[in-house]
Amino acid sequence: MLELSSNGYHVRRKPSLYPPKYLPHNSFEVTDDDGLAFWDQRTIYVEPHLRNICPTPAKVAYWLAEHGELRPKWLPIQAVHTLWNSCAFVVLSGSVMHDDVWQKWRAADKPEGWKITTKVEHTKRTAEYVALLKAENPRGMRKNVVDESELPPIARPAVLPMAYTNKAPPEKTVQVSSRKPEEEMMEITAAAEEPPVKHKRKRRKPKKANKPAGGDDADGDDAEGAYDEPSAKRRG
């Protein structure tokens, strides 16, 4: 927390722990024009390359500050809140909601192997994922839901601005039949009352018992003779 000078006569707070240059008095109540909270604008979601450093917030802050190539206005790092062993929220000093600046920084992919996104984008993806799970397996959802009001402000889901809210899907057009309901019901009833059509099964005719023996051979000989007999065209 404190730093001692080389001669031992002066002491100061470490610059890495300085408060941001712009800090409203009621910062937890300040929102922008889209309704996004002041600190949510400055919070990012991280998944480090190592799965065991998030329980130690100081390690997360050190790695991000030393190897993340953060913009100067984002420093110093204000807080780190561990969500799970492999992920955490990190509060910076400057806003990360400027899309062009954010995209240029993420294009550098620093620190290497880290997965990083804004808290707003993380909240949006989490809501989509939970909705998908509810649709596929409603009974498999946890019944004990955490009360968000009991969580610290940094851990609560961000209030999504208007630009991030999902648009309602277009309504499907339904073709309405011009016939009266009574006519449709009569057709359905008549179709239900019609007896099922039975198809007659074709039976093979039995072979005649008085067929002369060697009939197959005789037929074959006659056919062969007919084949060998010269045609009228050849005779002429």
Q: Token digits for 19?
A: 């408060």
Supply the pLDDT for residue 172: 47
What is the 3 state secondary structure string of the chain?
CEEECCCCCCEEECHHHCCCCCCCCCHHHCECCCCCECCHHHEEEEECCCCCCCCCHHHHHHHHHHHCCCCHHHCCCCEEEEEECCEEEEECCCCCCCHHHHHHHHHCCCCCCCEEEEHHHHHHHHHHHHHHHHHHCHHHCCCCCCCHHHCCHHHCCCCCCHHHCCCCCCCCCCCCCCCCHHHHHHHHHHHHHCCCCCCCCCCCCCCCCCCCCCHHHHHHHHHHHHHHCCCHHHHC
pLDDT (0 to 100) of residue 220:
47
Q: Which whole number is the average pLDDT over 89-97?
A: 93
Region 174-183: mean pLDDT is 52
Domains by residue range for the chain, with CATH: 36-164 (3.30.70)
Compute, in degrees rounded to 10, the torsion defined by CA atoms 85, 87, 88, 93. 140
- Give pLDDT, residue 31: 82
State residue 71's pLDDT score: 93
Higher pLDDT, 81 or 234: 81
What confidence category does residue 227 fall into, taking pLDDT thresholds of 50, 70 and 90?
very low
Residue 174 has a pLDDT of 46
Q: Give me 37's structure tokens.
A: 């909270």
| Assessment of whether the complete model's pTM goes beyond 0.85 | no
Tens of pLDDT along 17-60?
A: 666 667 778 887 888 877 888 889 999 999 999 888 999 998 99
User: In this predicted structure, which of 11-25, 50-64, 156-170 has the lowest mean pLDDT?
Assistant: 156-170
Cβ contacts of 52 within 8 Å, gap of 6 or more:
85
Give the pLDDT mean for 78-82: 91
pLDDT digits (tens, 9 = 90+) for 120-146: 999 999 888 888 888 888 777 666 666
The whole-number pLDDT of residue 70 equals: 94
